[in-house]
Amino acid sequence: MPAAKKNIAGLLPRKCLLGVVHLPALPGAPNYGGRLDPIRQSMRRDLLALKKGGAHAVIIENFGDAPFAADSAGPAGVACLTSLACEARELFPGPLGINLLRNDGVGAMAVAAASGADFIRVNVLVGARLADQGILNGIAEKLLRFRKRIGAGHIRIFADVDVKHSAPMAPPTPLRTRPGTPGNAAAPMPSSSAAPALATARIPTISAAPTPPPPALPC
């Protein structure tokens, strides 16, 4: 049987199985157990299971580090994840991804470049989201400049469109394809009823309770 054509970022077939290895807490996290061996054993077990199950690619992420920092995961986490990713690269032959929660795309890119990983996942690449860490801001400018600076242009960036466990700070602007342009060229849809075929999703909103008026002061 011929190999499936790789048409997702040049790495994966259109229909693919992508597995995730949830690492236990790494050094520096509140629930770190003080030893690296159990973390390595857990990763090896999950990687081998995903390989046996036919996964086309895997992502390893610091899932056990909760509660997560909003941006930088810290040097201890980056160093440990790099060490684990180097071993994962040897154990799993397919594309390898890195996710450094909650939104440390720069740290993930550094890990990927050092370990030979193929892509990273970024929770909030553009825009802003409200999550339990507070406001998560898009990191596209910082991340792309860092990738260029370290010569890691071959590492792909997989970004969430509507990341879970969060809400947008403002409703997104609906997009449509401009007439006569390629399918990936989009323009803001004007505020009009001229395009009934365009469906708009319900966006969760967060509103503060109204502030009661101050009590009247005696004269």
Q: What is the mean pLDDT of the chain?
A: 83
Rounded Cα–Cα distance for residues 78 and 169 (Å): 29
Which of 5, 26, 24 minimizes the C-alpha distance to 15?
5
Q: Which domain holds residue 136?
A: 16-160
Establish if 3 belongs to a structural domain.
no
Establish if 22 belongs to a structural domain.
yes
Q: Stretch 132-146: mean pLDDT, rounded? A: 95
Evaluate whether 138 touches 99 at the Cβ level (below 8 Å): no
Establish if 181 belongs to a structural domain.
no
Establish if 193 belongs to a structural domain.
no
Establish if 142 belongs to a structural domain.
yes
Q: What's the pLDDT at 216?
A: 53
Which of 93, 77, 75, 72 minimizes the C-alpha distance to 23?
77
Evaluate whether 120 touches 98 at the Cβ level (below 8 Å): yes
Cα angle, residue 153 at apex, residues 61 and 178 outer, rounded to 5°: 95
Establish if 207 belongs to a structural domain.
no
Which of 83, 84, 75 minimizes the C-alpha distance to 42?
84
Quote the number of domains for the chain.
Answer: 1
**25-40 pLDDT tens trace:** 999 999 999 999 999 9
Establish if 197 belongs to a structural domain.
no
Rounded Cα–Cα distance for residues 191 and 40 (Å): 53
Q: What's the pLDDT at 7?
A: 82
Q: What backbone phi and psi angles, to 5 degrees, belong to 149?
A: -65, -35
**82-104 pLDDT tens trace:** 999 999 999 999 999 999 999 99
**159-187 pLDDT tens trace:** 998 888 899 988 766 666 555 544 444 33
Q: From residue 29, give the alpha-carbon distance in Å to each of 63, 90, 99, 106, 207.
A: 10, 26, 16, 19, 32
